[in-house]
C-alpha cells in the first residue's frame, strides 16, 4: 500500500503484521492491533479467515484508497483493520473496527508495534497534556533505555540533531479520549496508539474510560507519518485534525482579537466603576493598541457582582457596562464556566436557575459519587437542567450585547461517568460534544469564543481561540511556564483560529520581565492584557510604550505562533522562537534566569544560512546586533529581545 511520494506499507496477512517505509527506510515493524470486547482481549490468533479489499475513495483529504484487512472467525466479532492512503499526503490513517452482536468495548488500539530509532543518539518522545489545567507541562522526554511515555492524543518521537520524527496522533475526538504510548527498550522501541485513555493525572478521570455498545464499534482514526522535521510533522498533524473534524463553530474572519481581561489583577474586585475606568483608559490613552478597529474589554469571573437577584434577576447594570464599551468604541466581553457548580457545598437541593431541576440531579455521577476538581463540581452536560441553565444565562448575555465570551473549566464536561442523563452516550467525549454543541447553538454565532481551561485537541471544533497554558500573570517564571506550552504546542495555531498566552500583566515587575511577558503573547499569536488600568501606576506608562509598538502589532495581526528553535528542554521552555514573514526573520530570545546570559543560536534550525552573518535590530530597544551561526546573543537577566533580520 503506497502513500505519499515515497511511503509504503507492507501488510503480511499470514502473520497479521505490517511494516512501514519512508523513502526506502523502515521506521515501523511488527505492527498489528489490539482490541477488547466486554473487557477481554480478543486473540488475533483465533481468526482463521483474513481478506484484503482495496476501495477508491474521495474525501476531505483528497483522492485515495481505503485498504481493509478483515478478520473472520466463528463466535468471534469480525475485525476490520483499515488503512487510508493518499498519493498527495505524506502520512496515512489507521483505525480498527469491531462488528458483531451485543459488543461492548472501552479499548481499541488500531496500531501496536515496534519502531526504529530516528537517530542513533539524541532522540525524545513528546508528552502532550489532555488539557491545560493545574499548570500541567509538556515534556520532551529524553528517550533512554526503558523510558515510557503515554501522551494524550498525539506524540512525536524525534531527533534534536537531525530533526527527523515519527508523528502518531488521533484526528477524531468526538467519541474517544485516545493516547499514544511509547517505550524505549534495550534492543527495541515499542508503541501503542489506542482509544480508551483515562488517567487521573492527565485526563482528570477518576474511573476507567467509558464503554461503547452496539453492533459496530470503531476506534478513533490515527495519523501516522515519518517527517524530515518534527515541527513540520506536528503542524501537519494539527492541520489534519481541522480537516478530519470540521469546526462546529463558525469560522472567524475578523482581525486577530486583542483586548483586556479583568482576571489579570482586578479579579474578584471587579465593579462597574473600575471596569468603566479601564474602558476609558483604552479608549483615551491607548488608542494605537488595536488590530484594525476592534478591541475587547472582557469581564472575567465575578461579573455577577453587576447583577441583582442572580441569573434570573436584574442584568441592567451589566447591560449598561456593555453599552458603555460600545459607546467608547470597544467590544464588550464576558466569562462563564457552563459545566461547573461552584456552590455545591451549599447542598444538592438548590434549584438550578432557568429550570425546575436541582443541582444534585445535574451533578455528573462518578464511582457512585461526584467529580470535584479546581474547587468546582462537574455538571452533566447532557442533563436538561444543565442545558436549560445554559440557555438562560447565554440569552441574558446576548441581550446585554456582549460580543465575546471566555468559557472556562470545559474539562469538567468531558469526565468519564457512571452514566449520563442521555443514555445513548457512554463516554466523556460524547458528553463533551453534546454539551459544547448545545452551548454553541445558544450562542448562535453572536460572539467570539475563547476557551481557557479546556481539552487540548477536542476543543478545536468549538472555539475560535484557546489559551495555550493555564493561568499566567507577570513574573518571568510564569512567562517561562507559558512558553513551555508554546515550545511543544505551538502547532495548535493550525488547529484553532488563534492560540493565546493568557493575560499579560505588567504590574511593578522589572522592565525586562514586562518585555518578556509582552513578547510571550506576541509570539503565541494574540494579545490579552490584564493590569488594573482603572488606576495609574508604572504599568500604565509601560503599557503605552510596549503595547503600541507598531512592529509587535504587525506580528499580532498575523495571528500565528512562532516556531520553537529547539526541542530538547524537557519540561522547561527553550530560549529561542522564530518566524519568517514579509521578507524578515524574527528571533525571539528569552533569558529566564536571574543573571545576564549569552545564548547560542543555531541559525540553520530557523532556515537561515550557517555561513552568513546577519545584521539585526532589537524591536524593543533598537539596539544593533550581528547574528551568525552559533554566535552568542547576550540577554539581560529576566529579559527578552526580538531580533529582526532582513533576508
Q: Which residues contact 27 (CB under 8 A, 6 or more apart)?
A: 20, 21, 115, 116, 118, 166, 226
> Closest Cα to residue 522, out of 323, 138, 241, 256?
256
pLDDT given at position 539: 98
pLDDT given at position 159: 93
Whether the predicted pLDDT of 185 surpasses 80: no
Assigned C-alpha cell, 432? 463533551
pLDDT given at position 354: 98
Whether the predicted pLDDT of 194 surpasses 90: yes
Calpha distance 435→339 (Å, rounded): 8
Apex 324 CA angle, 319 and 325, nearest 5: 100
Whether the predicted pLDDT of 594 surpasses 80: yes
pLDDT given at position 302: 98
What value does the mean pLDDT take over residues 496-517? 98
Assigned C-alpha cell, 7? 511511503
pLDDT given at position 143: 86
CB 282 within 8 A of CB 529: no
Write out pLDDT tens, residues 348-394.
Answer: 999 999 999 999 999 999 999 999 999 999 999 999 999 999 999 99
> Closest Cα to residue 522, out of 408, 640, 386, 606?
640
What value does the mean pLDDT take over residues 585-612? 97
CB 307 within 8 A of CB 318: yes
Which DSSP letter does residue 174 get?
A: S
Q: Which CATH number fits domain 258-561: 3.20.20.70, 3.40.50.620, 1.10.579.10, 3.40.109.10?
A: 3.20.20.70
pLDDT given at position 480: 98
Calpha distance 111→446 (Å, rounded): 42
Supply the CATH classification number for the domain 2-244. Answer: 2.70.98.10
Helices (H) and strands (E) in the chain, counts: 10, 41
> Closest Cα to residue 457, out of 176, 226, 96?
176
What value does the mean pLDDT take over residues 571-590? 98
Write out pLDDT tens, residues 244-281.
Answer: 999 999 999 999 999 999 999 999 999 999 999 999 99
Write out pLDDT tens, residues 412-447.
Answer: 999 999 999 999 999 999 999 999 999 999 999 999
> Closest Cα to residue 273, out of 309, 324, 311?
324
pLDDT given at position 166: 97
Write out pLDDT tens, residues 330-339.
Answer: 999 999 999 9
Whether the predicted pLDDT of 145 surpasses 80: no
Calpha distance 127→150 (Å, rounded): 7
Q: What is the DSSP string of 310-353?
A: GGGSB-HHHHHHHHHHHHTT-EEEEEE-TTEETTGGG-TTPBPT
Alpha-helical runs (H) found in 525-571: 538-546, 550-558
Boundaries of every domain in the chain? 2-244, 258-561, 564-646
Whether the predicted pLDDT of 12 surpasses 90: yes
Supply the CATH classification number for the domain 564-646. Answer: 2.60.40.1180
> Closest Cα to residue 411, out of 248, 203, 206, 209?
203
Q: 316-327 and 272-284 are packed helices; what angle lies between their axes, rounded to 10 degrees? A: 10
Calpha distance 177→455 (Å, rounded): 10
Write out pLDDT tens, residues 380-390.
Answer: 999 999 999 99
> Closest Cα to residue 91, out of 227, 182, 192?
227
CA 592 to chain centre: 24
Q: Which residue has the cell 489532555?
A: 130
Q: Is 505 helix (H, G, I), strand (E, B) or coil?
A: coil
pLDDT given at position 514: 98
Give the predicted TM-score (pTM) of the model. Answer: 0.97
> Closest Cα to residue 187, out of 22, 17, 29, 12?
29
Write out pLDDT tens, residues 557-569.
Answer: 999 999 999 999 9
pLDDT given at position 596: 98
Assigned C-alpha cell, 576? 529561542
pLDDT given at position 188: 87
pLDDT given at position 122: 79
Write out pLDDT tens, residues 293-333.
Answer: 899 999 999 999 999 999 999 999 999 999 999 999 999 99
Whether the predicted pLDDT of 121 surpasses 80: no
Whether the predicted pLDDT of 186 surpasses 90: no
Q: Which residues contact 234 (CB under 8 A, 6 or more apart)?
A: 154, 156, 165, 167, 491
**Confidence at 510, pLDDT banded by 50, 70, 90:** very high
Q: Lowest-pLDDT range, 79-88, 179-188, 350-359, 524-533?
A: 179-188
What value does the mean pLDDT take over residues 76-104? 97
Calpha distance 100→346 (Å, rounded): 47
Amino acid at each position: 500500500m503506497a502513500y505519499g511520494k515515497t511511503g509504503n506499507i507492507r501488510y503480511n496477512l499470514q502473520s497479521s503484521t505490517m511494516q512501514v517505509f519512508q523513502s526506502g527506510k523502515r521506521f515501523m515493524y511488527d505492527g498489528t492491533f489490539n482490541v477488547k470486547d466486554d473487557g477481554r482481549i480478543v486473540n488475533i490468533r483465533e481468526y482463521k479467515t483474513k481478506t484484503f479489499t482495496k476501495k477508491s475513495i474521495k474525501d476531505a483529504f483528497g483522492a485515495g484508497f481505503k485498504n481493509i484487512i478483515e478478520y473472520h472467525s466463528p463466535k468471534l466479532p469480525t475485525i476490520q483493520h483499515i488503512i487510508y492512503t493518499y498519493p498527495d499526503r505524506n502520512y496515512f490513517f489507521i483505525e480498527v473496527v469491531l462488528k458483531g452482536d451485543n459488543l461492548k468495548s472501552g479499548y481499541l488500539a488500531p496500531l501496536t508495534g515496534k519502531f526504529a530509532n530516528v537517530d542513533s543518539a539524541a532522540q525524545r518522545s513528546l508528552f502532550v497534556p489532555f488539557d491545560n489545567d493545574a499548570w500541567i507541562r509538556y515534556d520532551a522526554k529524553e528517550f533512554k533505555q526503558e523510558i515510557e511515555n503515554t501522551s494524550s492524543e498525539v506524540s512525536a518521537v524525534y531527533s534534536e540533531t537531525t530533526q527527523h520524527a515519527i508523528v502518531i496522533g488521533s484526528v477524531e475526538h468526538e467519541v474517544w479520549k485516545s493516547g499514544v504510548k511509547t517505550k524505549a527498550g534495550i534492543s527495541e522501541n515499542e508503541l501503542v496508539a489506542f482509544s480508551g485513555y483515562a488517567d487521573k493525572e492527565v485526563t482528570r478521570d477518576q474511573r476507567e474510560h467509558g464503554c461503547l455498545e452496539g453492533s459496530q464499534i470503531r476506534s478513533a482514526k490515527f495519523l501516522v507519518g515519518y517527517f524530515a522535521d518534527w515541527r513540520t510533522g506536528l503542524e501537519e498533524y494539527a492541520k489534519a485534525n481541522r480537516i478530519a473534524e470540521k469546526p462546529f463553530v463558525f469560522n472567524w474572519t475578523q482581525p486577530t482579537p486583542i483586548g483586556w481581561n479583568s482576571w489579570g489583577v482586578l479579579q474578584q474586585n471587579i465593579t462597574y466603576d473600575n471596569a468603566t475606568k479601564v474602558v476609558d483608559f483604552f479608549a483615551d490613552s491607548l488608542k494605537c493598541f488595536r488590530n484594525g478597529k476592534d478591541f475587547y474589554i472582557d469581564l472575567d469571573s465575578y461579573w455577577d457582582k453587576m447583577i441583582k437577584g442572580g441569573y434570573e434577576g436584574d442584568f441592567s447594570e451589566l447591560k449598561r457596562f456593555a453599552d458603555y464599551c460600545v459607546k467608547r468604541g470597544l467590544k464588550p466581553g464576558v466569562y462563564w464556566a457552563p459545566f461547573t457548580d461552584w456552590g455545591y457545598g451549599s447542598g444538592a437541593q438548590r434549584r438550578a436557575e432557568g429550570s425546575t431541576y436541582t443541582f444534585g440531579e445535574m451533578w455528573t455521577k462518578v464511582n457512585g459519587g461526584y467529580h470535584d476538581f479546581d474547587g468546582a463540581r462537574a455538571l452533566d452536560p447532557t442533563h436538561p437542567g444543565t442545558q436549560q441553565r445554559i440557555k438562560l444565562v447565554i440569552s441574558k448575555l446576548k441581550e446585554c450585547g456582549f460580543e465575546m465570551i471566555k468559557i472556562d473549566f470545559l474539562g469538567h464536561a468531558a469526565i468519564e461517568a457512571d452514566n449520563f442523563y442521555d443514555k445513548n452516550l457512554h463516554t466523556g467525549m460524547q458528553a463533551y460534544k453534546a454539551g459544547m454543541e448545545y452551548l454553541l447553538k445558544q450562542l448562535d454565532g453572536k460572539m467570539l469564543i475563547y476557551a481557557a481551561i479546556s481539552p487540548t485537541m477536542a476543543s478545536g471544533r468549538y472555539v475560535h481561540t484557546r489559551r495555550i497554558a493555564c493561568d499566567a500573570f507577570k513574573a518571568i517564571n510564569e512567562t517561562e511556564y507559558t512558553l513551555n506550552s508554546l515550545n511543544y504546542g505551538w502547532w495548535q495555531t493550525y488547529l484553532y483560529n488563534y492560540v493565546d498566552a493568557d493575560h499579560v500583566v505588567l504590574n511593578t515587575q522589572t522592565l525586562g520581565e514586562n518585555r518578556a511577558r509582552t513578547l510571550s503573547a506576541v509570539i503565541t499569536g494574540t494579545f490579552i492584557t490584564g493590569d488594573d488600568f482603572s488606576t495609574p501606576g508604572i504599568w500604565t506608562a509601560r503599557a503605552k510604550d510596549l503595547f503600541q509598538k507598531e512592529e509587535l502589532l504587525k506580528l499580532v495581526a498575523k495571528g500565528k505562533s512562532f516556531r520553537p528553535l529547539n526541542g530538547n528542554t524537557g519540561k522547561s521552555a527553550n530560549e529561542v522562537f522564530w518566524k519568517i514573514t514579509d521578507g524578515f526573520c524574527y528571533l525571539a530570545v528569552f533569558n529566564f534566569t536571574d543573571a545576564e546570559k549569552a545564548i547560542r543560536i543555531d541559525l540553520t534550525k530557523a532556515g537561515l544560512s550557517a555561513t552568513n552573518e546577519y545584521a539585526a535590530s532589537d524591536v524593543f530597544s533598537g539596539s544593533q546586533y550581528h547574528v551568525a551561526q552559533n554566535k552568542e546573543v547576550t540577554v539581560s537577566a529576566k529579559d527578552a529581545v526580538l531580533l529582526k533580520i532582513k533576508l
